[in-house]
């Protein structure tokens, strides 16, 4: 269970989707002065060098943040607000980014949450992988509001529930496990059910991969059902950058082409009412910026 390292995937298309949604949601919730409890159940390192060994091994950021930066640099019209908010955060960690450079520090969800939080907010980060947990501690200790940031070497599925409901009765919770284990899918559904039972008015963002596995296709349906049974609103968005398999006839003895993860999705429970409109603008732009073939597409649905 400790083999997954997010550093291999930092800045990929799934991060672009997840972090665009995360930032837009948090910026809306910050409009009220009341303190927020920010929780990331599977935090990772927090910060990643895209020219580092892990990121270079997979080079997934090339079809994610690096491609989006190139698109933005050549854009003749302003980007949609949600996409621009996301890119503004990337720039804030790097300063001016020269076209084509791989010397980019990519902020994971913990760094984004810490950078955007306010003095009245509290941030709780959970990470079980020992090396990533130590890196997370070091990265968060150097960031803003370090004294309001709490890193826990603990099971995010179980131990994050201890902080619900928060004293302020306001929370944004991100759940994005690796799904390396098939059991993660069931744990996510059970976690959301338990979280809503403890704190029904929190805002929950659940990321998942869109891959050819029955559990992956069933998960968003289960999450929407859990939200509906709790009487809560939901939003579901997906982003695919290309086809997930090789077209044409496979010859006998020919090895199937592995394309890796080419699509992912997010389910947001109790989403801000403005989020659907923001994503109606942002998702087509992300398809245009990151799409690699005619199959590139997005979906967007909500309960309202």
Distances (CA, A) of 100 to 51, 65, 93, 194, 249: 12, 11, 17, 45, 36
Annotation-wise, does 19 bind a ligand? yes
99: which 2 tokens? 């076209």
Exactly one of 176, 184, 194, 293 is catalytic; which is it?
Answer: 176
Residues lower than pLDDT 70 in the chain: 1-5, 52-58, 245-259
**Predicted TM-score (pTM) of this structure:** 0.93
Annotation-wise, does 303 bind a ligand? no
Pairwise CA distance, residues 184 & 129, whole Å: 15
For Cα atoms 121, 42, 162, give the angle at the middle one, nearest 5 degrees. Answer: 60
In a domain, 41, yes or no: yes
In a domain, 80, yes or no: no
**132 tagged catalytic:** no
What's the domain count of the chain? 1
In a domain, 93, yes or no: no
pLDDT at 304: 75
**Domain span holding position 284:** 21-48+108-244+259-302
pLDDT at 218: 98
In a domain, 102, yes or no: no
Pairwise CA distance, residues 26 & 109, whole Å: 11
Pairwise CA distance, residues 142 & 262, whole Å: 34
In a domain, 98, yes or no: no
Coil, helix or strand for 107? Answer: strand
DSSP 8-state code for residue 46: S
Annotation-wise, does 301 bind a ligand? no
User: Rg of the Cα trace of the chain?
Assistant: 19
pLDDT at 250: 39
In a domain, 67, yes or no: no
Annotation-wise, does 51 bind a ligand? no
State the CATH number of the domain containing residue 130: 3.40.50.150
78 and 26 Cβ atoms separated by less than 8 Å: no
303 and 234 Cβ atoms separated by less than 8 Å: yes
List the one residue out of 249, 173, 192, 236 whose CA is nearest residue 210.
236
In a domain, 249, yes or no: no
Annotation-wise, does 155 bind a ligand? yes
In a domain, 63, yes or no: no
């Amino acid at each position: 269970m400790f083999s997954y390292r997010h550093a291999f995937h930092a800045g990929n298309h799934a991060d672009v989707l997840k972090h665009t949604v995360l930032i837009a949601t948090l910026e809306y919730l910050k409009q009220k002065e009341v303190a927020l409890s920010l929780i990331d159940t599977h935090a990772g390192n927090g910060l990643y060098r895209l020219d580092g060994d892990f990121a270079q091994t997979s080079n997934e950021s090339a079809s994610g943040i690096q491609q989006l930066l190139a698109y933005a640099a050549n854009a003749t019209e302003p980007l949609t607000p949600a996409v621009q908010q996301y890119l503004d955060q990337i720039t804030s960690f790097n300063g001016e980014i020269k076209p084509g450079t791989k010397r980019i520090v990519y902020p994971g969800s913990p760094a984004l949450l810490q950078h955007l939080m306010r003095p009245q907010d509290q941030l709780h980060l959970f990470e079980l992988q020992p090396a990533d947990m130590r890196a997370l501690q070091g990265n968060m200790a150097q960031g803003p509001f370090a004294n309001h940031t709490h890193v826990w070497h603990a099971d995010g599925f179980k131990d994050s529930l201890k902080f619900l409901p928060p004293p302020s009765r306001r929370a944004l919770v991100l759940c994005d496990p690796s799904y390396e284990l098939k059991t993660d899918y069931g744990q996510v559904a059970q976690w959301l059910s338990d979280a809503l039972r403890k704190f029904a008015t929190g805002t929950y963002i659940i990321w998942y991969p869109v891959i050819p596995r029955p559990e992956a296709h069933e998960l968003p349906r289960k999450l929407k059902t859990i939200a509906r049974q709790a009487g809560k609103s939901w939003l579901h968005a997906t982003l695919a950058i290309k086809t997930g398999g090789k077209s044409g006839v496979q010859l006998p003895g020919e090895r199937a082409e592995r394309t890796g993860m080419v699509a992912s999705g997010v389910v947001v429970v109790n989403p801000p009412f403005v989020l659907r409109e923001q994503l109606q603008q942002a998702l087509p732009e992300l398809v245009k910026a990151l799409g690699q073939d005619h199959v590139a597409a997005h979906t967007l649905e909500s309960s309202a």
